[in-house]
Structure 1
Amino acid sequence: MRREVKYGLIGGSVALVAGVVGGFTLFGGSDESSPQEVRSADGAPGDSSPKVKTGPLTSAEVHTTTRAFLTAWQSGDASKAAALTDSPDTAKSALETFSKQAKFSKVTLTPGKATGGTVPYTVAARIDFKGATAPVSYRTSMDLERDTSTGKPRVAWKPAVLHPDLAKGDELRTGEAEAPPIKAVDRNGTELTPASHPALAGVLESLRDKYGDKTDGKPGVELFIHRAKAAKAAEQQPDKTLKVLSKGTPGTLKTTLDAGLQTAAENAVKGKKEASATAIKPSTGEILAIANSPAKGFSVATQGSLAPGSTMKIVTAAMLMDKGMTSPGKAHPCPKYVTVGGWKFQNLDKTEIPKGTFAQSFAASCNNAFISQAEKLSDDDLTKEARDVFGIGLNWQTGIPTFDGNVPVQSDAQMAASLIGQGGVRMNPLNVATLAATVRAGSFHQPYIVSPSLDNRTLAKAPRAMKPGTAAGLKSLMRLTATSGTAAEAMSGVGGDIGAKTGSAEVDGQKKPNAWFTAYRDDLAAAAVVPASGHGGSNAGPVVRAILTAG
């Protein structure tokens, strides 16, 4: 349950911030504001109650409150320090346990230059744990605000006052690590490290968290942030190592990743402000690559929850064919306008395909060819198809925290919008890659990154297989899209058994839609999203192409 190690080992060179040892550095200037005489409305002295002070804090107020808070905290007077915050009870409890859990002694707090009501400061201390000692130093900050009821300056309490990486419910601890370090290797035995693959930093932390104790490794002693348990498994963050006091022995953990494809995926999203991609093996569900830009932080590729746009038409097309409502060669016009539930839908640029086949409408990604079928469907038809055939929304056991997609039961206009991947439908690149992989394989294989045999977990199973006619029809639709439809430019020159689907998802308040693209080439499937970039084929398409051709 650790992230990147920020500080060196005992015996290494760990320099404290200059000026923090041996005392408490204070701001210069007056300690107190001058007392003010209370006068009545006519200016004469009076005994009327003073008005509550309002407006921004003065520099003197910031200085005085900062010094009082940090002095009380440094001296161990949690009650006095907490009384200067806007949440005295919460602050008192946190301050009382802070040094005990972190095993800190000789805490020194040094404020920096305030900017308005924000005051940065350095926390320097010595860690003492079972005979091992080590210095530690880090910077954080606090915000001071005026209490609206009393007018007095108060520290706006939040866990980051104690450490910048603390969130609600997190704890700073020193002790034996809860899991040994791991040496993660790819499917071919190549070691995977955060240095060689920055996009895997969070994945490797999660793998250590879950599987470190299932290797032959031995834990060391660390200062780390113990993360609070998230309400949803997909949102769980691994613990974060801040300092290693004694090294553990890494245990080797084999993953399904492919180092070459991982590099290709990372390079494909690099340089984009935001982009995410995944690659999986359709015949097995093995995850081959996970990439995000920026590389560090929340993994949109596996935990994101975004409208997938027209990539959802893979599921919708399967549903319509499963129900016998259409087939690739059947006449299936795409009208310019369709009204469902009182909402009028129009195609992009008001285009239409008045006499086309379903294959032509799919390859052109013409929205109203799908929306026009809404009133013939039950509210839960799309939900069932997504779950029972494509595995979306089942409880995936991938080996790392993932959001497994959601296609809620909706009605009227919202249900119609869901048919084209809008409405309440939510997915990420891992989910969308699985859609393409299911088409290529003919059945759903739950994605995973570590073999289920390691911990005897049960992979999710789709309740039913795709009908043979539907499977063949979908492959022909996706091949047509890849060769002469909206995905043709991105897939040009890509050989083998190929299929693709583009998507553009509208987002309120966003000038350009989120660009989506998913495709397969033989036994390799990939998907990517590039938010707020425009058309899927020209923006997310090149990312997927780079992954497919690297494989």
Structure 2
Amino acid sequence: MRKGVKIALVGGVFTAMVGGAGYGAYNLVNGVTGGGGSSGSGPVAVKTGPPTSDEVRETTRKFLAAWADGDARGAAAYTNNREAAATALTGYREDAHLTKVKLTPKRASGARVPFSVSATVSYKGKSKPFTYDSQLTVVRGETTGRALVDWSAAVVHPSLEKGDTLVTGEATAPPIQAVDRAGTVLRPKDHPSLAPLLDKLRAKYGDSAGGKPGVELYVRPADTEQTDAGARTLLTLAKGRPGKLRTTLSAGVQKAAEQAVLRSDESSVVAVKPSTGEILAVANNRKDAFNAAFEGRVMPGSTMKILTAAMFLDKGVTKAAGPAPCPATATWQSQTISNLKGMVPNESATFSESFARSCNTAFVKLIDEEGITDSSLTEEARNNFGLGGDDWQVGVTSFDGSVPASAGPDRAANAIGQGKVEMNPLNMASVTATAMTGTFRQPVIVPKSLDDRELATAQGLRASTVQQLRQMMHRTAVSGTGARAMAGLGGDIGAKTGSAEVDGQEKSDSWFTGYRGDVAAAAMAQGGGHGGDAAGPIVAAVLRAG
């Protein structure tokens, strides 16, 4: 072994103190990567079946020892993807500047071996310790029969996905000091749900906010096409100077939103200011870091009936006080649709009553009226509510809703928020804001003046349509399916509940949207059941704070 490198196994810890420029460790891998054996020994049977506990232990020991030594190719030889592993482990040393690596295997669970990592990040005279936990799994090589580490980027660090790399150097963007609409600083420690979104705002606006970058260890995503947008900081070696970035958020409403989503797992909420389109709050309570509030693509259930009702009113199919019978079932092109369990049929119901009760069959019976086509709902969504054009410029990545023209049974399903319709809380908060005011104002989280981006436009709604929608949503909030959630909220209020049935999912997705004064909010709780049960209290809490 070369001079300047010491490697030892003490108490299960592999330690490498690297002092030279070259990397060897031939003896560590000799006999494993090939080599050895006499030509007269005959063919050797390839092992099959799961690796034994001894093989798991030995493969783990040799892999971690080579990695700790800084021998990327030696370590890669103990994996089932040598090329990818060698590239990643070489970058670990050369791009991430991680040295003095100590790897401590923990008790294995079958073929899975958790381990801890302790290293030092050193860059241009600046150093800091870096510790974390990871894990590996040992599998049987498909062709060799050897016990090998099942390679993935997450072995190197659990936050890495395929193609991601660790890099230490000048930060990809200066830090930002995000402030709300009143100038209050929005800190991740105070608003943890905002942390991923603040990272995205920093990546996009950090350079123009007037700050100076520091030195960081960060994850460079694979899908950035040679840019550093979306980089995720893991460790700061030297702080930069933050630039101030003004957002449209309200610290008070944001705090209420963050607390509200804790009521239900896999939940998200968005609040907007209908008179301006400014986003007041966005919060997610999810096991992953996905911003489902802005980027989710799921069926919105009966909250979609706001948009469908607008279509019926605009087309003259019916009026709020007009007839909309609510039978037990309705059939559209061989598909029979029912109402929620326990709903009493009412053949003499008005449209306002069927809306407030969220009667599916009333809506299905109206979609074959004269003037309604397979594309009518699509046109209403795009032309009047600004949805589906893929042209929103919110300030960070968002999905702008999808209401595709659908023939056959999907025309009926789309009308009640099932079928092929896809939305998220941002979309439905915007729908509610448009229904309230009659004007589509594309939601924004940073002022348009910040970068002079072009916002999406739509023609909005007629005054008579708005008046009737507000009447029906108010009825829903005070005596319909939204009444329990909205109880105690005074003033000018309106609501709509939704439950989206998902194939293979025991409980439906819970949806709720509502307004109070100049605040509109929408929430979803995936797997939360009825709209008023899970999503309703989330929206009510946000409206109360607004």
TM-score above 0.5: yes
Tell me how far 1:542 sits from its aligned partner: 1.8
| CA–CA separation in structure 2 for the residues paired with 1:304 and 1:230 | 21
Deviates more, 1:221-230 or 1:242-251: 221-230
Which of residues 291, 299, 302 in structure 2 aligns to 1:307?
299
Q: 2:380 is matched with which residue?
A: 385
Which of residues 364, 371, 376 in structure 1 aligns to 2:364?
371
Is residue 420 of structure 2 the alignment partner of residue 413 of structure 1?
no
Which of residues 242, 247, 250 in structure 1 aligns to 2:239?
247
Give the unaligned 5+ runs of structure 2. 1-10, 19-29, 33-39
| CA–CA separation in structure 2 for the residues paired with 1:162 and 1:177 | 21
- The 3 A distance-change label for structure 1 pair 287 and 364 is same
Identity percentage over the alignment? 50
Which of residues 477, 480, 505 in structure 2 aligns to 1:482?
477
Is the CA contact (8 Å cut-off) linking 1:198 and 1:295 kept in structure 2? Answer: no
CA-based RMSD? 2.5
Is the CA contact (8 Å cut-off) linking 2:524 and 2:535 kept in structure 1? Answer: yes
Is the CA contact (8 Å cut-off) linking 1:199 and 1:295 kept in structure 2? Answer: no
For 1:60-79, what aligned pairs fall within 5 Å after superposition?
A: 60-79=54-73
RCO higher in structure (CA 8 A, sep ≥6): 1
- The 3 A distance-change label for structure 1 pair 147 and 375 is farther
Deviates more, 1:304-313 or 1:269-278: 269-278
Tell me how far 1:503 sits from its aligned partner: 0.8
Which of residues 412, 415, 425 in structure 1 aligns to 2:421?
425
Is residue 539 of structure 2 the alignment partner of residue 544 of structure 1?
yes
Is residue 392 of structure 2 the alignment partner of residue 396 of structure 1?
yes
Is the CA contact (8 Å cut-off) linking 2:438 and 2:466 kept in structure 1? Answer: yes
SS in structure 2 at match of 1:316: helix
| CA–CA separation in structure 1 for the residues paired with 2:104 and 2:489 | 60
Number of residue pairs matched by the alignment:
512
| CA–CA separation in structure 1 for the residues paired with 2:224 and 2:317 | 43
| CA–CA separation in structure 1 for the residues paired with 2:495 and 2:115 | 53
Tell me how far 1:472 sits from its aligned partner: 1.8
Q: 1:291 is matched with which residue?
A: 283
| CA–CA separation in structure 1 for the residues paired with 2:281 and 2:99 | 44
Q: 2:200 is matched with which residue?
A: 206
- The 3 A distance-change label for structure 1 pair 296 and 347 is closer
Q: 1:41 is matched with which residue?
A: none
Deviates more, 1:432-441 or 1:389-398: 389-398
- The 3 A distance-change label for structure 1 pair 281 and 421 is same
Is the CA contact (8 Å cut-off) linking 1:112 and 1:121 kept in structure 2? Answer: yes
Q: 1:37 is matched with which residue?
A: none
For 1:32-111, what aligned pairs fall within 5 Å after superposition?
A: 49=43, 51-111=45-105
Is the CA contact (8 Å cut-off) linking 2:477 and 2:494 kept in structure 1? Answer: yes
Runs (4+) off by over 6 Å: none
Give the unaligned 5+ runs of structure 1. 1-16, 25-30, 34-45
| CA–CA separation in structure 2 for the residues paired with 1:118 and 1:484 | 55
| CA–CA separation in structure 2 for the residues paired with 1:361 and 1:230 | 48
Which of residues 221, 230, 236 in structure 2 aligns to 1:238?
230
Which of residues 338, 351, 357 in structure 2 aligns to 1:358?
351
Aligned partner letter, 1:88: R
Aligned partner letter, 1:391: G
- The 3 A distance-change label for structure 1 pair 549 and 134 is closer
Tell me how far 1:426 sits from its aligned partner: 1.3
Deviations 1:269-324 (A, max 9, x none): 22423322111000111000112224872222222222110000001011111111
Tell me how far 1:374 sits from its aligned partner: 3.1
| CA–CA separation in structure 1 for the residues paired with 2:89 and 2:139 | 20
| CA–CA separation in structure 2 for the residues paired with 1:331 and 1:64 | 76
| CA–CA separation in structure 2 for the residues paired with 1:537 and 1:123 | 46
Which of residues 326, 334, 355 in structure 1 aligns to 2:318?
326
Q: 2:431 is matched with which residue?
A: 435
Is the CA contact (8 Å cut-off) linking 1:198 and 1:296 kept in structure 2? Answer: no
SS in structure 2 at match of 1:517: strand
